[in-house]
Amino acid sequence: MNGEQGMKGEQGMKGGQGMNGDNGRNGLDGSPGKLGPTGPQGIVGLPGANGVKGEKGEQSSQQKSAFSVVFTSNPGRHALSPMKYDTIITDVGNDYNKETGKFVCAIPGVYVFQVTSMKSSGSGKILTRIMKNGSFQVSTRMDPAGYNSASTMVVLDLISGDEVWTQPHSSAYNYYYSDINRYCSFSGFLLYAA
């Protein structure tokens, strides 16, 4: 027959370290930490090597038209018609016709024209107009007061075949004066082609 249960014995000695268990599963990623302070600026690096030379570009073919004409002798009382300046200083494109006194547009575009006229001394007066196809565009005027000159300029939008010239306003305003010092002139040039 089983006897009665005996009294509890004393605690035994600590046993040795057991074997390592298997690795556990990876835990979840934590929340991002706060942005740290900006570090000091680094040293400037060495220049890089030169790149490969590019291909030569094409030069644009700019259209050109420009002229300047003058009176080197005294025109006096000029007729009420296009003023035919006796000397050509510049005529790039050959668009100014010395025989008619007219600039004939060959390249459509925007042009700048300028005229300067001197009046004779005494009671003479001048009023010179820049004309386009028979219609006046701007005028410059000088009343009696000895030798004086006046000048004006205009920008015109022209098409091929348009004509531009200068002429006196009337018989009462055409007392011009010029000599070898070239006081009377007419100039124009292509600002840009259309």
In tens, the pLDDT along 28-63 reads 888 888 888 888 888 888 888 888 888 886 766 789
Cβ-contact 95, 185 below 8 angstroms:
no
Residue 89 vs residue 39, higher pLDDT: 89
Q: What percent of the chain has pLDDT over 70?
A: 97
Q: pLDDT tens, 66-87?
A: 999 999 999 888 888 999 999 9
Select from 85, 91, 94 the least CA-distant residue to 117: 85
Q: Name the DSSP class of 186.
A: E
Assigned fold of 66-193: Jelly Rolls (2.60.120)
Cβ(137)–Cβ(131) under 8 Å?
yes
pTM: 0.67
pLDDT tens for residues 90-149? 999 999 999 999 999 999 999 999 999 998 877 788 999 999 999 999 999 888 776 778
Beta-bridge mates of residue 61: none
Q: Where are the domains of the chain?
A: 66-193
Q: What is the pLDDT of residue 38?
A: 86
The DSSP letter of residue 144 is: S
Q: Is the pLDDT of residue 88 over 90?
A: yes
Which residues are paired to 68 by β-bridges? Answer: 90, 187
